Amino acid sequence: MQADFKFLQMKGRIVYTFGLLALAIAIAFAGCGRSEDAYEVTERHTNGTTGMTMARLDVSGMMCAHACGGKIKKELLKVNGVANATIDFEDDRALNFAQVEYDEQVVEVNGLVEAIAGIADGKLYAVQAVEITHFAKETELN
């Protein structure tokens, strides 16, 4: 009887240890989904009529222009420092994008990415790449 009890204790410890191990692995891999740093950023500088910053954010997960694009645009326009946002969507394109005009003194590009990634707790959309264009008056570039 005591041997059976010790066997059950040992079996319980093994199950408990494997359960903890499985939980640790699940937690580790949960962070491998979408993250703010999982996108490529390219920057360029050019002259323009006014000093402003534009970002093109390539977004995966958009299935339509109206509902998906509308929600993304709405969330981007809520971000302090965003002056304008447009969505460029085509059904047959793998990645559609948002074009955002913003004040880089008020918001960083991570804030724009977080606005998109935060929709539905990050389960719908992910930013794959960001192209930032800094416009400056020609006199500022010289």
Rounded average pLDDT over 3-23: 55
pLDDT tens sequence across 56-65:
999 999 999 9
CB 33 within 8 A of CB 26: no
Query: 116 φ, ψ to 5°?
Result: -75, -45
The domain spans of the chain are: 1-32, 40-141
Cα gap 56→42, rounded to integer Å: 10
CATH of region 40-141, choose from 3.10.580.10, 3.40.50.1110, 1.10.3330.10, 3.30.70.100? 3.30.70.100
Is the pTM higher than 0.75? The answer reads: no
pLDDT tens sequence across 34-46:
444 578 888 888 8
**pLDDT of res. 67:** 93
Q: What percent of the chain has pLDDT over 70?
A: 69
**pLDDT of res. 33:** 41
User: Is the pLDDT reported for residue 55 higher than 80?
Assistant: yes
Beta strands in the chain (DSSP E): 40-48, 52-60, 82-88, 96-102, 126-137
**pLDDT of res. 57:** 96
User: Is the pLDDT reported for residue 4 higher than 70?
Assistant: no
Cα gap 118→133, rounded to integer Å: 24
CB 57 within 8 A of CB 100: yes
CB contact set of 128 (below 8 Å; sequence gap of 6+)? 39, 40, 58, 59, 60, 95
